[in-house]
Every structure is written in structure tokens, then in C-alpha cells.
Chains A and B, each alone.
Chain A
Amino acid sequence: NSTKNQSSGINAEYGGVVLGADTRATGGSIVCDLNCEKIHYIADNVYCCGAGTAADTEFTTKMISSKMELLKLRTGREGRVISALRMLKQYLFRYQGHISAALVLGGVDVNGPALYTVYPHGSTDKLPYVTMGSGSLAAMSVFEDGFKMGMNEEEAKNLVFHAIRAGIVNDLGSGSNVDITVIRKGNVEVFRPYQVVCKKSERAGDYTFPVGTTVVTSSTEMVPFSALTVTDEEVMEIS
């Protein structure tokens, strides 16, 4: 069961990161999950969008989340985005791309907001705006047109929403709702969903058949089970 989806993020000047993702999980050409969660928790101040195989992204982010918690307990400090990045990079490189997890990692730590992208083979990039997944081209086209340095939170959220929406509308591998996670210094706000883009339509008519549609040619009365009487019982051992 794989997700061919999209996720994107913006590193905005207001001092935070906005991550967005759609909610469709596909297995080939069948939609397996209409409302799956693609923005994964890594630490209180670090979140990660996952594109690629659903199990790989889920498990990889959970593993790195556990490692980050252990590191936090060891050092006594709040986790940093680059720690999560290095753990992800070394983990994925070890498996030489066989773990198909393309991730967008974002968070705010003592060094400020940071947005990274991690590819399945382990390469990473640090950029102000990134997209991953099947709808990444549609989303990136919106980013390239609309991104400017020094955006505030509302502008950043709006731009991410339109980027994800472009992928949902134009790409078959993306669909359903837009999820957005806003990470600021000190708190995180999760909009799930930020907006419902594709809603399942209502059934247009009544498709039930009225009684009498099928002609009854003959009928026999069935004896109910309770009408039978038990005459002999024997308990046997299973060897």
C-alpha cells in the first residue's frame, strides 16, 4: 500500500514553518485511504511530511521520533531540526534507497526556523520552500509564482494551501483534503483539515427495489432451528 502524494513546506520569515499535505493514499490506481495523515510528529517543535511508500514514511518518522526523544532525555535540551535531519539521512543512506521515503522536514529550534527535504537515498537540501511527491510539480509551480521572502503567517498558509490544492486538482495521486501544520517558536498549530477540496458526492437517487419487483412463483415454509428438539448429546475429546 503506497502513497503517491505530495507534501510541501514554506519557511516563512515570521519565524516559523508552514507544512502542508494532501490526504489521499493510493495503492496503484485505487484510493486506499481518503483521509490519511501525512504530516508526522517527530518532536514537539519538529514535524515531517512524508511522500512515497506509506509504511516506509510512517515507520521511518516513528523511528526518528523515538531517537529524538532519547536524545532529548540524554542531553536535557530541546531537539534540533538538524539532529532529526542527520538521523533521517544516515538511516535512509544505510538502506541505499530501498526505503522509499521522500520527506519534507520542518521545525523551529534555537537556531530559528528550518526547512529541509530528504530524498529516499539519503540526500538532503535546505531551502526556503520545497515540495515532494507526485503532485510536487503542480505545487512547486504555485510556489515559484507566489513565494517571496518576508511573508507573514497568513500569506504563507494561503500559499501552501493553494500549492496543495493545485496538486489535488491536477494530479491523480493526490486528493481529498488539505492538511496544514504551522510551527512557530513555542507552539504548533495543526489544521486537519485546513480545507476540504474533494468531497464525496451524495447519491443522486434511490436505488432500492420495491417489494414485489421479483415475481414469487412458489413458497415453502422453513422450519426454524428452535423448533428442533435435541435427542442425544455426546461430548468428544479432540486428540
Chain B
Amino acid sequence: MEKQFEIPSLRPSAGPKVTTTTGTFGVVDTLRSGFVNTRSELTARHPLEQSEALYDFNQQKIRLGMANKITGSALPLTIQAERACAARIGRLPGLRSSRLHFEVFAGTDETITIEDVFDTPSPWDEEPQYTRCNNTA
């Protein structure tokens, strides 16, 4: 439980190792491991790609880690539990929801961020809104 609330390291780590099964002559077996996107493996990623993808998650982890050190583990555990419940509150699949409860926990209800300005889903998108803020743990 103590490991859960450790302050995360912000140093970029090596990307996830993609294991591909090879068939005869060392060629990638497309049937079993899918098509190979060579370009994404060879070109260098942007130095901020990983830190930006994990930004919200890391900030949450830092805040809960500090709360754990200051007040004990009860507060961050209840916050995490309620946040997980709030992430599941929503309407039927395909319907839009304001996700106000979840936004209060994310802290985005009282501020404006880059996500609110750039690349916002247009009103004509078919994609349901709740898949955009994935609570990856």
C-alpha cells in the first residue's frame, strides 16, 4: 500500500518493449503479431511525448503521495475510491455526459487547460465523450 503512493519519477523511461514473434528466417510473423509499423519504431519520439501522455496521472499521483505523507493513507484511498466511482458515472453508451463529478476530482472544473483549447472533439463526432478521459492506473 505504501508503494502505491510513492512520488513517481518524472524521468523518461524506455518505451514498452514490443515483442513480435518471428517465423522462419527471422521474418516477423504477421499472422500472430500483426502488421509492423517500422516508422514508429525507428523515428525518435518527441522528448515530451511520454511526460505529456502521463501528465495527469503523474500529477494525481504526486498529490496523493503528498497527502499520504501529510495526513496518512485514509484520505488518498477515499479520494481514489470516489474518483474511480465518478469515472464510471455516465449515461447510456453513446450519450454525452458532462462528467462533472469526475471533473471536480480531476481539478479541471475551475481552470482552463490546453485540452480545453486544442483538439477538442467537435459536436459532430460520433465518438462518445467518456472514452476521452481514460482513468489509466
Q: Is the CB of A63 within 8 A of B55?
A: no
Known A-B contacts A63-B117, A94-B55; A74 and B48 likewise in contact (beta carbons under 8 Å): no
Looking at chain A's contact residues, the main secondary structure is helix
User: In the complex, which residues of chain B have a beta carbon less than 8 angstroms from the beta carbon of A71?
Assistant: 110-111
B side interface size, CB within 8 A = 9
The answer to whether A96 has its CB under 8 Å from any CB of chain B is: yes
Nearest neighbor of B110 in chain A, beta-carbon distance: A74
Looking at chain B's contact residues, the main secondary structure is loop
The answer to whether A98 has its CB under 8 Å from any CB of chain B is: yes
User: In the complex, which residues of chain A have a beta carbon less than 8 angstroms from the beta carbon of B51?
Assistant: 94, 96
The answer to whether B47 has its CB under 8 Å from any CB of chain A is: yes
Total A-B pairs, Cβ < 8 A: 20
Residues 53 to 75 of chain A near chain B (Cβ within 8 Å): 63, 66-67, 70-71, 74
Determine the interface band of chain A, counting residues with CB < 8 A from chain B.
10 to 19
State how many angstroms separate the Cβ of A86 from the closest Cβ of chain B: 13
State how many angstroms separate the Cβ of A91 from the closest Cβ of chain B: 9
State how many angstroms separate the Cβ of B1 from the closest Cβ of chain A: 29
Q: Is the CB of B48 within 8 A of A63?
A: no
User: In the complex, which residues of chain B have a beta carbon less than 8 angstroms from the beta carbon of A74?
Assistant: 110
Interface centre among B55, B110, B112 (most CB of A within 10 A): B112
